[in-house]
Amino acid sequence: MKRVVWISLFAGLWAACHRSPDIPSYYPLPEFSLTDQTGKAVTLHDLTGKVWVADFIFTSCGGTCPLMTQEMRKLQDALPPEIRLVSFTVDPTRDTPRVLAAYAQEHGATNERWLFLTGDEQALYDLCVKGFKLPLDTENGTPAEPITHSSRFVLVDKQGEIRGYYSGTEEDELKRLAMDAKRLS
């Protein structure tokens, strides 16, 4: 019995020492299976062991999505190569792998580092709202932005846990995101 207690205590201390205490831990993400811009299936398991930054966009957006994508491109250039970027579409009907591939190329995304994911509409909506805890409204948008969604970037650690939410359009927030991502990698 004492041995089990010591092993549990050691495991807890090890985990505590290997987490950045000043970067909070929010929620573990649920498993998902989606398709990237090359047509390859991508799951949460495929991202395990990697630090990554996520956002939710759609390619025909006339609102904040182009700016968010521009900022993700800057992160791709600034962050170490082991940190991944993942953009989830909120318009999977239009954003097929082919459309996402063209969008990725247009914005200078490197396929090995920056995934653009699509899939089942309800699965994507549930992942956004229930998994990432971000708002999404597909019914009350404007002509320029028919789907209203968060402009937050989300930092995810190697275990698939959300570690931070950052404005995807504010310079200071993006600098903080880059620092936190580097500390987790």
CATH at residue 30: 3.40.30.10
Which amino acid is present at 29? L
**Does residue 5 sit within a domain?**
no
State the average pLDDT over residues 4-17. 38
User: Is the confidence at residue 132, as pLDDT, over 70?
Assistant: yes
Domain-embedded: residue 52: yes
Look at residue 95 and tell me if it is in a domain.
Answer: yes
Domain region containing 107: 22-184
Residue 58's pLDDT is: 94
Residue 125 lies in a domain: yes
pLDDT at 3 over 80: no
Highest mean pLDDT among 12-16, 132-136, 139-143: 132-136
Is the pLDDT reported for residue 123 higher than 70? yes
Residue 51 is assigned to a structural domain of this protein: yes
pLDDT for res 144: 66
**Is 32 contained in some domain?**
yes
Domain assignment present for residue 17? The answer is no
The angle at the Cα of 80, spanning 77 to 83, to the nearest 5 degrees, equals 100
What is the arithmetic mean of pLDDT over 149-156? Answer: 95
Segment 160-165 mean pLDDT? 98
* Burial class of residue 44 in the structure, from the number of CB atoms within 10 Å of its CB (0-12 exposed, 13-18 middle, 19+ buried): middle
Closest CA to 182 of 42, 52, 39, 2: 52
The structural domain count of the chain equals 1
Structure-token pair, residue 27: 């929620």
In a domain, 48, yes or no: yes
pLDDT for residue 82 is more than 90: yes
Model confidence band, residue 19 (pLDDT cutoffs 50, 70, 90)? very low
| The pLDDT of residue 21 | 54
**23 neighbors 56 (Cβ within 8 angstroms):** no
